[in-house]
């Protein structure tokens, strides 16, 4: 009887140690997964950057060659805009890290400009010039592919992982004019990135009020898809471009807002103001004016079908299956 009691206590003690050890291992694993968590950069680290930003630009088949070139011009002009440069370099570190990539189908993601640390207006202008210098071959198969948003997000994280210094904030900024119709499940990809501590922002480009090509009435406009299925993380937001002609202006505001040292809820609030049209031309350009806005943010339920039926090996939205 006595020995059985001792045995039970020993077993209970071993189980407690085992459970505690497993919990510690799991916690350590979670900490490792948060490799991009904001706020971890040592303010005394001279190598740190304020913002680490990966720009992921849609060049799938829904985007014409003219629109593709227009997008590059818009990104180049926005990054060389003195207002954006001032915001990018105006933080505590005075340095920013940016990568530029383009994406389309499942196996088509191309990092044209690997992540680069910049600390001057001239370096940002050089980066903008490098975007304009990207080779554009009309018969490149990349430009004939469907829209694999999930794969683009995973490729953007790979581009981010090349940064070898700490950042105050880690942001993937993905743009596009359509919803997913190819590749890896977008919710899986998005949630994987969020678990690593990344923030995903979106720039949906509304080019038409027409429904998507595939038969699924639960899909609405591209804006709802980005709001429901793509963006996430601390301070995540999307800014809507009303057609390709609105991309540059939207980009200028978006980059300034991403680089501004504001609380996460403020960034979300200001993005809501922009999308609701609650500002004039001056407010669109000067963040100090935008800060005075206080738009109502109605609660919304998710409307989009984010492709939950998808897995990494099968996509029911593919037209060739």
What percent of the chain shows pLDDT beyond 90? 51
**Is 306 within the bounds of a domain?**
no
pLDDT at 47: 84
**Is 16 within the bounds of a domain?**
no
**Is 295 within the bounds of a domain?**
no
Residue indicated by tokens 């890896």: 184
Higher pLDDT, 297 or 90: 90
pLDDT at 228: 92
* Total residue count of the chain as it appears in this document: 321
Between β-strands 167-176 and 199-204, what pairing exists: parallel, antiparallel or unpaired?
parallel
Between β-strands 167-176 and 49-58, what pairing exists: parallel, antiparallel or unpaired?
parallel
Contacts of 115 by beta carbon, 8 Å cutoff, 6+ apart: 52, 54, 97, 98, 99, 159, 160, 162, 163
**Is 317 within the bounds of a domain?**
no
Which tens digits make up the pLDDT trace of 141-150?
A: 999 999 999 9
> Where residue 208 falls among pLDDT bands split at 50, 70, 90?
low
281 closest CA partner among 252, 244, 243: 252
pLDDT over 70 (residue 256): yes
User: What does the buried/exposed string (b/e) look like for 43-54 if buried means 16 or more CB atoms within 10 Å of the residue's CB?
Assistant: eeeeebbbbbbb
Measured CA to CA, the distance from residue 59 to residue 137 in angstroms comes to 12
Q: How many structural domains does the chain have? A: 1
pLDDT over 50 (residue 317): no
Phi-psi region of 135 (alpha: psi -120 to 50; beta: other; left: phi over 0): beta
Which tens digits make up the pLDDT trace of 261-285?
A: 888 888 888 888 778 776 543 344 4
What percent of the chain shows pLDDT beyond 70? 70
**Is 315 within the bounds of a domain?**
no
Residue 72: both structure tokens together: 């590059």
> Where residue 4 falls among pLDDT bands split at 50, 70, 90?
low
Measured CA to CA, the distance from residue 47 to residue 134 in angstroms comes to 29
pLDDT, averaged across the chain: 79
Mean pLDDT of 93-110: 96
Three-class SS string for the chain?
CHHHHHHHHHHHHHHHHHHHHHHHHHHHHHHHHCCCCCCCCCCCCCCCEEEEEEEEEECCCCCCHHHHHHHHHHHHHHHHCHHHHHHHCCCCCCCEEEEEEEECCCCCEEEEEEEEEECCHHHHHHHHHHHHCCCCCCCCHHHHCCCCHHHHHHHHHHHHCCCCCCEEEEEEEEEECCCCCCCCCHHHHHHHHHHCCCEEEEEEECCCCCCCCCCCCCCCCHHHHHHHHHCECCCCCECCECCHHHHHHHHHHHHHHHHCCCCHHHHHHHHHHHHHCCCCHHHHHCHHHHCCCCCCCCCCCCCCCCCCCCCCCCCCCCCCC
How crowded is the C-beta side of 111, counted as CA atoms within 13 Å?
18
285 closest CA partner among 240, 255, 241: 255
Q: What CATH number corresponds to the domain at position 238? A: 3.40.50.410
**Is 164 within the bounds of a domain?**
yes
Range of the domain at 195: 49-263
Residue 241's DSSP bridge partners are 205
**Is 247 within the bounds of a domain?**
yes
Which tens digits make up the pLDDT trace of 9-68?
A: 544 444 444 433 433 434 344 444 577 866 666 666 778 999 999 999 999 999 999 999
Mean pLDDT of 183-205: 94
pLDDT over 50 (residue 133): yes
**Is 268 within the bounds of a domain?**
no
- Can you give the pTM of this predicted structure? 0.78
Mean pLDDT of 291-310: 53
Higher pLDDT, 189 or 293: 189
Which tens digits make up the pLDDT trace of 224-249?
A: 999 999 999 988 999 998 888 889 98
């Amino acid at each position: 009887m006595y020995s059985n009691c001792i045995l039970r206590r020993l077993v209970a003690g071993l189980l407690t140690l085992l459970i505690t050890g497993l919990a510690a291992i799991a916690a350590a694993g979670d900490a490792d997964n948060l490799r991009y968590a904001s706020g971890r950069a040592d303010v005394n680290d001279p190598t740190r950057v304020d913002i680490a930003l990966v720009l992921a630009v849609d060049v799938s088949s829904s985007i014409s060659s003219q629109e593709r070139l227009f997008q590059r011009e818009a990104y180049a002009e926005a990054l060389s805009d003195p207002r954006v440069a001032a915001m990018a370099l105006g933080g505590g570190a005075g340095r920013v890290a940016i990568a530029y990539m383009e994406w389309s189908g499942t196996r088509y993601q191309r990092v044209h400009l690997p992540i680069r640390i910049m600390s001057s207006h001239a370096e940002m202008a050089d980066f903008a010039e490098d975007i304009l210098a990207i080779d554009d071959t009309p018969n490149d198969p990349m430009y004939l592919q469907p829209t694999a948003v999930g794969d683009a997000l995973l490729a953007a994280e790979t581009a981010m992982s090349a940064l070898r210094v700490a950042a105050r904030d880690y942001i993937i900024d993905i743009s596009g004019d359509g919803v997913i119709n190819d590749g890896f499940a977008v919710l899986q990809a998005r949630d994987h990135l969020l678990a690593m501590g990344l923030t995903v922002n979106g720039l949906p480009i509304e080019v038409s009020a027409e429904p998507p090509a595939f038969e699924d009435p639960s899909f609405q406009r591209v804006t709802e898809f980005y709001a429901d299925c793509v963006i996430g993380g601390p301070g995540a937001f999307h800014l809507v471009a009303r057609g390709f002609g609105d991309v540059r202006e939207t980009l200028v505001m978006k980059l300034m807002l991403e680089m501004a040292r504001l609380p996460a809820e403020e960034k979300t609030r200001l993005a809501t103001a922009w999308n609701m049209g609650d500002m004039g031309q001056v407010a669109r350009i000067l963040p100090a004016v935008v800060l005075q806005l206080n738009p109502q943010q109605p609660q919304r339920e998710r409307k989009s079908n984010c492709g939950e039926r998808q897995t990494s090996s099968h996509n029911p939205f593919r037209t060739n299956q």
